[in-house]
Amino acid sequence: MRVATGLVLLGLGAATPALAQPEPGDVRAGQRLATTWCANCHQIAVGGPGSANDAAPPFPAVAQMVSTTSMSLRVFLQSPHGNMPDYRLSREQIDDVVAYILSLRR
């Protein structure tokens, strides 16, 4: 019984560093990308530059959605959308934009 408990605790300890790893991406670089490419259609910050129209939700509103996660943003940014330009972002650029959007959470 002690051996089994020890192995479980050891396994939990080994999993902890993987959970503690920071998300990739540079918030400032993501903000620059958003200002350059996304602000034509989206409001990219509260009271910030960009259009706030119904077709393109404001980034702060996207950040507050329960369904918004790092993974969901990555999938969205890598999938073509009929009413959104196909910018073909690199993995690093996606990391940066995701980091920026998630930084807008209150």
Read off the pLDDT of residues 20-72 as tens digits, 9 standing for 90 and up: 567 789 999 999 999 999 988 899 998 876 675 668 899 999 999 999 999 99
- C-beta atoms surrounding 12 within 10 Å: 9
Who's near 38: CB < 8 A, 6+ residues apart?
Answer: 44, 50, 59, 97
Residue-level pLDDT at 48:
78
What's the Cα-to-Cα distance from 102 to each of 29, 88, 97, rounded to whole Å?
13, 20, 9
Confidence of residue 2 (pLDDT cuts 50, 70, 90): low
